[in-house]
Structure 1
Amino acid sequence: MIADPSVFSPEQPYDRRFMAAAIRYARRNVGRTGTNPSVATLIVRDEGDGRPPRIVGRGVTALGGRPHAEAGALAEAGELARGATAYVTLEPCAHHGRTPPCAEALVTAGITRVVSAASDPDPRVDGKGHRILLDGGLKVTPKVLAEEAARNIAGYLTRHRSGRPGVTLKMALSRDGRIGLRGEGQVKITGPISNAQTHLIRAQTDAIMIGAGTALEDDPRLDCRLPGMSDRSPARIILDPNLRLSPDMTVVRTARDTPTFVVAFADADPERRAALAEAGVSFVACDTDPETGRVALPELMEDLGATGITSILVEGGAELASSFLADGLVDRLILVQGGIEIGEAGILAPVGLAEARQRFPLVRDQRFGDDHWYEFDCGVA
C-alpha cells in the first residue's frame, strides 16, 4: 500500500459532484455481482473552453461480476477517454485474470487522471492499482467520498477484512420496544412504505437469515416482492440445528425456486434431512458452541464467507438477534419503529433505540409514513 500522500494529486472543486454521481450509479447492481463488488466508473471530459465538464462514458460492474465498471465506461467513451478523468468508486484492480487489470486499461486508454473513492483491501489490489496508474504517468486522487462509497460494498469489504460476510440486523419495533407476541405468529408493526424499503434491502443482499423458531411460528416467504424484482430474491438461510422444519413449510416448498440452506448439526434426524433434501433444500454443517449448545455463529459466518456470500440480512427473532450482537457480528443495525404499542405481553427487542443510540453511530434517520427508520453503523468492519 502506498503510504506517502505526497504522490497523490489534490482534490478538484467538482470531484465530489462526479463521485457522488458514480456512487449512485454503482447502486444499480448491488447484490447482483457475485463475489465482486458493484463498482461504477464515470469518464469525464473537461475541454477547458469554459463549458462545464461532461460525462462521456459510464460503466457499472456487470451481473455476475464481469466485466468490471472501467471496461464498460471506456468502451462507451471510446476516443473521448483520451485526456479525460475517470471517477471510480473503488481502487482499480491490479491483478491479471482473463483480461488485463483495470488500472492498466485506464493507462492504455489515455486517461490522464483517476479519482477513486474506497480503498480495496483485496491483497491483490490494496494500493497496487494506484501504483500502476502513477507509474503510467497518471495523476491520482484517492479517498474522495470514501465512506459513502464503502457503504455500497460493505459486505465485500467485510469479507476481505474479517473473512466473513457483512451482516445487517433488521428489526421492527413497536413504540414500546416490542418485536412481537410469543405464539401469535407475525405481528404487523410497520406500514407499506417501510416494508417496501425492507424488500429493497433484500434485493441488494446475497442471503437472508432467520432461526427455526421464526420459521415455525411465521412460515415466512423470505423473498423480494417489489414489482418486477422477484428475480432478485436473496438466498435463504435457516438456522435449524435439530431439523424441526417440515416439508410442507413455505421455504421448503419453494426451495427449488429460491436457493434455500438449512444449518444443521451433523447428527440431526436423518429421515427429516432426507425429506428436506428431496424438496431441494441444501445443508450447511455447523459447530456447536460449547457454552450454549447452540450453533457457533463466528465459525458459521466464516464458512459462509468461504462460499462467496458477501452480505447477509438477519431478520430473525430476539434470540438470533441477541446472539449476533453478543458475538460482535453485526455491521449494520436497522431499527424500524412503528406507531403501534404491543404491551407488556410482547417480546422485548434485544436492543432498543435508546441503547442503540448510545452504542453505535446513527447514519440514517428517515420517516416513512407513521414509521421511523433508523440505521446504525456498528463499526465491526
Structure 2
Amino acid sequence: MASDLKLMKVALTLARKGSGNVEPNPMVGAVIVKNGKIIGKGYHKKFGGAHAEIEALKNCKISPKDATLYVTLEPCCHFGKTPPCTDAIIKAGIKKVVAAVKDPTRKVSGKGFKILQKAGIEVVCGVCQKEAEKLNAPFFKFAKTKRPWVIVKWAQSKDGFLARTDKKRWITGALSRRDVHKIRKRVKAILVGINTVLEDNPMLTVRPDTGRQPLRVVLDSNLQIPQNCNLIRTAKKVPVCVFTTSSKKIKAKNVETIKIKNNINLKTVLNELGKKGVQQLLVEGGEKVITSFIRQNLADEIIVYTSNEQLAEKGKVKSSQPMKKIYNQLKKNFDDKNFFGSDTRLRRIINAENRNPGTGDNS
C-alpha cells in the first residue's frame, strides 16, 4: 500500500502539468510499473489530445504486458474526442489498474472499471482519493451540480484599498498580473459588474493570446454598457454575455443579452452559465460583485493579491477598505501562500463540500 501511495503521488504530480491546457477536461496523470520499476509516464497535455493512459503507454520503453497502471481518474470507456482508454489498456495487456477516484460523469461513473474487470484486469480504486478530488475540484463540482466552480479574485494595497486616484493603473506588480493571466487561461468565463466596465474599460482576455479565450460576462441591470467599450469592440473575436433586467438588446455581433426578471439573481446567473458548459468562472470585480458572491456563499475559492504599497499615506485612494474584514479572516485560514516579487498571494478553498463529492470504491 505504501508503494501504491508513492506511485499515485507521482501520477498526481504529472497530472498538474496539464493545468491551463486541458480544461474543461480534468487534469490526469498516469504511471506504468513493471517488476517494481516505472516503465512509462504520461499526462493529459491538452484538450482534445491523448489521455494520460495513452501517453503513458506510448512512453513505455519495454512491453507493458502484465504491468500495473496507476492513474488519477477512472479510465474513460466511450468515444469522445479520443477513443476509449479502456480499449488501449486491455490491448496493451495491463494486468492491474490502480485508480485514485471514480469518474463522476454519467458517461463513465464506474463503467470503465467494469469493462476492465470483465477483461480480467484487477481494479483498485481509492488511492489518494482526496488529493485527486481536490486537484480536479471544479470538474467534480460541475459533474455534481451543473454549476461553475467560482473563483473570486481581487488585488489590493497593503492597507486594504482596491482602487487608486493617481495615473498608475495597477496596484500589484507584473509578476502578479502574469499569474492572473494563468488563472484566466484555465477558466471558461470571467465575470465583472457594469461599474468595472464603466470605470476601467477592461479587455478581460488572456494575454498573451494562446488561442484559449474565456467568455466575458457582465452583470448590467439597466444595460448601460457602452457600444464603444473594449468588450463590445472586440466581441467579434472573443464573445460577450450580458445579464440584464432591461428589455433592450445590444446590437453587436457575438454579444448575447440574457434578460432576468426583476433583479439579477447570482444563482440564476450561475445556472445559465452552467447550461453554457462553464465549468470554472473567475469573478474579477468590483467590490459590490465580489462581496455579493462571498456573502451569498457562492464562492468556492478566493484568491487575493496584496501589494507592499501603502496607498492611504500617499493620498492615492478613492474608496474605503471594503474587503478588509474578509481579508483578515482569510489571513487566519488559507490553503496556500505564494510570493510574486513584492506581492503576496493568498488562496483559500471555501466550499469544501463541493471539493470531495466522490465516494471510495475498492472494486
Query: With structure 2 as the length reference, what TM-score do the two structures score?
Result: 0.84
CA distance in 2, matches of 1:104, 1:266: 52
CA distance in 1, matches of 2:100, 2:184: 25
CA distance in 1, matches of 2:237, 2:80: 33
Change (3 A) 1:123 1:304: same
Residue 259 in structure 1 maps to residue 239 in structure 2: yes
Give the SS at the match of 2:139: helix
Residue 142 in structure 1 maps to residue 125 in structure 2: yes
Which of 298, 301, 326 aligns to 1:352? It is 326
Q: CA RMSD in A?
A: 2.9
- Shift, 1:214, TM fit: 0.5
Aligned to 2:337: 365
Change (3 A) 1:369 1:296: same
8 A contact 2:247–2:259 mirrored in 1: no
Aligned to 1:63: 47
The Cα offsets for residues 2-31 of structure 1, whole Å up to 9 and x where unpaired, read as xxxxxxxxx342x34443343333334434
CA distance in 2, matches of 1:178, 1:78: 56
Within 5 A, what are the aligned runs for 1:168-183? 168-181=151-164
Aligned to 1:340: 309
8 A contact 2:153–2:302 mirrored in 1: yes
Residue 199 in structure 1 maps to residue 199 in structure 2: no
Aligned to 1:310: 279
- Shift, 1:108, TM fit: 3.5
Aligned residues with identical type, % of pairs: 31
- Shift, 1:238, TM fit: 1.7
Query: With structure 1 as the length reference, what TM-score do the two structures score?
Result: 0.80
Which of 35, 45, 54 aligns to 2:38? It is 54
Within 5 A, what are the aligned runs for 1:274-313? 274=251, 277=252, 280-288=253-261, 293=263, 295-313=264-282
Which consecutive aligned stretches of 4+ in structure 1 deviate over 6 angstroms post-superposition?
183-186
Which ranges in structure 1 are unaligned for 5 or more consecutive residues?
A: 1-10
8 A contact 1:286–1:300 mirrored in 2: no
CA distance in 1, matches of 2:350, 2:81: 37
Give the SS at the match of 1:179: coil
Which of 33, 37, 42 aligns to 1:45? It is 33
Which of 215, 223, 231 aligns to 2:197? It is 215
Aligned to 1:124: 107
CA distance in 2, matches of 1:218, 1:185: 12
The Cα offsets for residues 128-157 of structure 1, whole Å up to 9 and x where unpaired, read as 333333443333333333333334422221
CA distance in 2, matches of 1:137, 1:209: 49
- Shift, 1:248, TM fit: 1.8
Change (3 A) 1:98 1:60: closer
The Cα offsets for residues 226-247 of structure 1, whole Å up to 9 and x where unpaired, read as 4xx5423322112223221222
Aligned to 1:36: 25
The Cα offsets for residues 65-102 of structure 1, whole Å up to 9 and x where unpaired, read as x5433234334449722122222221222446687643
Change (3 A) 1:318 1:98: closer
Equivalences, count: 348
Which ranges in structure 2 are unaligned for 5 or more consecutive residues?
A: 355-363
Give the SS at the match of 1:93: coil
Give the SS at the match of 1:221: coil
One-letter amino acid of the structure 2 residue matched with residue 205 of structure 1: V
- Shift, 1:255, TM fit: 1.5
Which of 12, 34, 56 aligns to 1:23? It is 12
CA distance in 2, matches of 1:79, 1:367: 42
- Shift, 1:325, TM fit: 1.4
Residue 240 in structure 1 maps to residue 220 in structure 2: yes
One-letter amino acid of the structure 2 residue matched with residue 243 of structure 1: L
Give the SS at the match of 1:362: coil
Higher RCO (Cα < 8 Å, 6 or more apart):
2
The Cα offsets for residues 259-294 of structure 1, whole Å up to 9 and x where unpaired, read as 2222233503x4xx11xx2xx332141424x5xx3x
The Cα offsets for residues 151-179 of structure 1, whole Å up to 9 and x where unpaired, read as 44222211111220111111112222222
Change (3 A) 1:46 1:67: closer
